[in-house]
Amino acid sequence: MWNSKDVYYVSDSTAILAEDMGKALLCQFHGVGFNEEKIPFVRTPADARKALDHILEQSGGRSPLVFCTIMDRECREILNSAEVDFYDIFGTFLDRLEVSLETEALREPGFSRHSDDIDLVRRVEAIHYSIRHDDGTKTNEYGEAEIILVGVSRSGKTPVSVYLATHMGLKSANFPLTSDHLDRYELPRDLVSNRKKVVGLTCSPQHLHKIREKRYSGSRYASLATCTRELQQAQELFMRHNIKVLHTEGKSIEELAVQATQLLGIAKKRWRKR
């Protein structure tokens, strides 16, 4: 077994996709260390030969891994040297898709970037919206929101809200449940009227206690009793208003964002619009 491997992500565009795909595969091999490098904008045979020379010089004949998303066939053939382990991400799938779809692929470098102008505008708008509506601000504008995250303090609302905006282009707001709402078992009118967009975040009292202790050690706010009471009160509010609930414990921000959209059926709605 190899203790370490040199890895190169080579692309005719930014190499972001090649890196994402490669990392998704390599993370399954915990016993191996990886020395990684991106080589973007390889668009001509001369670029490809220069990239290959660099790879071979750096790796010293140790059969480096090369994850490639280059469209040009000649460039791919140059990089597919016997001295490297070559993984042709686009070529492998595009060839098969052309047969399945009975048409030719565009094979244009970075085309997804060119076609994303509308998505980029939408994403920028979503980011601005998320910033303006963080931590319960401007609830009167919740009618514009696509998703509203609600939960007690330190339940993960802001990072998930930011991810929804920056990576998924969703206008996301978040609202903290304070003692004013919890003790009266009431939600603001703006939340109630938009409850079909609301996802409640929750976790175990022990998990919340651990998170709060890191910043406010020994405080009443961080005590297990306070965490238990607040989470129980929040759960009662969620049930009373028929709000869908997402448990955050042991999940990444990415997982939570995807699961939140699934709870509201946002992904299905967008697919139907296309």
Count CB atoms within 10 A of the CB of residue 212: 20
Domain ranges in the chain are 4-114, 117-273
Is residue 91's pLDDT more than 80?
no
Q: What pLDDT, on the 0 to 100 scale, is given for residue 10?
A: 97
Q: What is the mean pLDDT of residues 22-38?
A: 93
Q: Output the six-digit token pair for 130.
A: 């998320």
Count CB atoms within 10 A of the CB of residue 46: 11
Which band of pLDDT confidence, cut at 50, 70 and 90, is reported for residue 273? very low
Measure the CA–CA gap between 69 and 14, rounded to whole angstroms: 10
Helix (H, G, I), strand (E, B) or coil at 168: helix
Q: Which of 15-24, 91-100, 185-194 has the lowest mean pLDDT?
A: 91-100
Is residue 158's pLDDT more than 50?
yes
| Top CATH class, 4-114 | alpha beta
Q: What pLDDT, on the 0 to 100 scale, is given for residue 263?
A: 95
More confident position, 77 or 122: 77
In the chain, what is the greatest distance between 2 CA atoms, to the nearest angstrom?
71
Is residue 229's pLDDT more than 70?
yes
Q: What pLDDT, on the 0 to 100 scale, is given for residue 118?
A: 56
- Torsion angles phi and psi, residue 244, rounded to 5: -70, 145
As a whole number, the mean pLDDT across the chain is 91
Asked if residue 44 lies in contact with residue 75, where contact means CB atoms within 8 angstroms, the answer is yes
CATH 3.10.170 fits 117-273, yes or no: no
Q: Where are the alpha helices (DSSP H) in 60-204?
A: 73-79, 89-101, 111-114, 117-132, 157-168, 179-184, 189-193
Q: What is the mean pLDDT of residues 132-157?
A: 96
Distances (CA, A) of 126 to 24, 129, 140, 161, 198: 27, 5, 17, 10, 17
Asked if residue 196 lies in contact with residue 144, where contact means CB atoms within 8 angstroms, the answer is no
Q: Output the six-digit token pair for 229.
A: 């009471």
Is residue 144's pLDDT more than 70?
yes
> Could you tell me which of 13, 12, 20 has the C-alpha nearest to residue 36?
20
Is residue 129's pLDDT more than 50?
yes
Q: Which of 4-18, 102-116, 150-164, 179-193 has the lowest mean pLDDT?
A: 102-116
Is residue 79's pLDDT more than 90?
yes
Q: What pLDDT, on the 0 to 100 scale, is given for residue 219?
A: 97
Asked if residue 6 lies in contact with residue 63, where contact means CB atoms within 8 angstroms, the answer is no
> Could you tell me which of 132, 154, 142 has the C-alpha nearest to residue 216?
154
Asked if residue 8 lies in contact with residue 67, where contact means CB atoms within 8 angstroms, the answer is yes
